[in-house]
Homo-oligomer: A and B are copies of this chain.
């Protein structure tokens, strides 16, 4: 199987990407990794030790985090992200991974790779951390701001298939993000979506409140892109504030400083557990090929996790299963 990696996007590009590619190529000889980017940058980092299952696909432009997504994708046709998307579109790679500009990657999915037949709006599906360390796949997290009930139904079905094919969950429990657990709760969107989900061929468990997401009542959480963004960033903001307050409090006296020093590794563990994005790639579900978004701050370990994820999804025929499910609908 062939996987394209945008080695120019993300905070630790290109070093982390090339390091992870070398490690992955050694571990999985059946996988060919295509490093997309500037060869003059990539070649010296690869050195002479580049294995046969790594190749370079030249792309001289880079889409930055401040680039306006759609404009950048249209104008920078020789950017690493667009070229990687084109490899998927042309069937030269089964998947692409990028930890660059999220908006631009969603635009690459729509405009370069293209929608999966039958899907109206692709959705971005990161994993949230849960207390039990298993995680919840939540979609959409910002690709589709004005979702219709039918879009939420498609998210539910795509999320279920993903959890089944990639994580081996037999009947993934699907929850609907809502303001209360009763079926009559919510806005017009969630009330109508509730009825659709109830009658869909999925394991729908009902509404899930934002306060209960991390308790993992469900395996797939469905929501519109606006609410999803609020959910994700509210949790990020609360976590960041709590850690700031803890820092203030724990450095307020000599004794507390001493005690806090002892607990430093414990605090680090908690912080890492809450960093749901860091170690999981988020698939853009609903495009005609596998597009995986790595967190902007992905290091080599995170990039390799994304490669592993792509391998599992390809190996288990995720895109073929999605195509079967929606084709002609």
Contacts and interface: CB of A to CB of B under 8 A. Distances in A.
Interface residues of A, number: 54
B238 A235 contact: yes
Contact of A241 (B142, B214, B226, B259): B214
Interface of A is mostly: helix
A325 interface: no
A222 interface: no
A262 B258 CA distance: 10
Interface in A215-253: 215, 224-227, 229-242, 244-246, 249-250, 252
A177 B230 contact: yes
Contacts of A245: 131, 269-270, 273-274
Interface string A187-212: 11010000000000000000001111
A131 B230 contact: no
Interface in A245-302: 245-246, 249-250, 252, 255-256, 258-260, 262-263, 266-267, 269-270, 273-274
Identical copies of this chain, number: 2
Given A187-B146, A230-B227, A259-B262, A237 B213 contact: yes
B234 A213 contact: yes
Nearest to A249: B266
13 contacts: A145-B179, A146-B187, A179-B229, A210-B229, A211-B237, A213-B234, A214-B240, A235-B235, A235-B237, A238-B274, A242-B274, A249-B270, A250-B266
Interface of A: 131, 142, 145-146, 177, 179, 186-188, 190, 209-215, 224-227, 229-242, 244-246, 249-250, 252, 255-256, 258-260, 262-263, 266-267, 269-270, 273-274
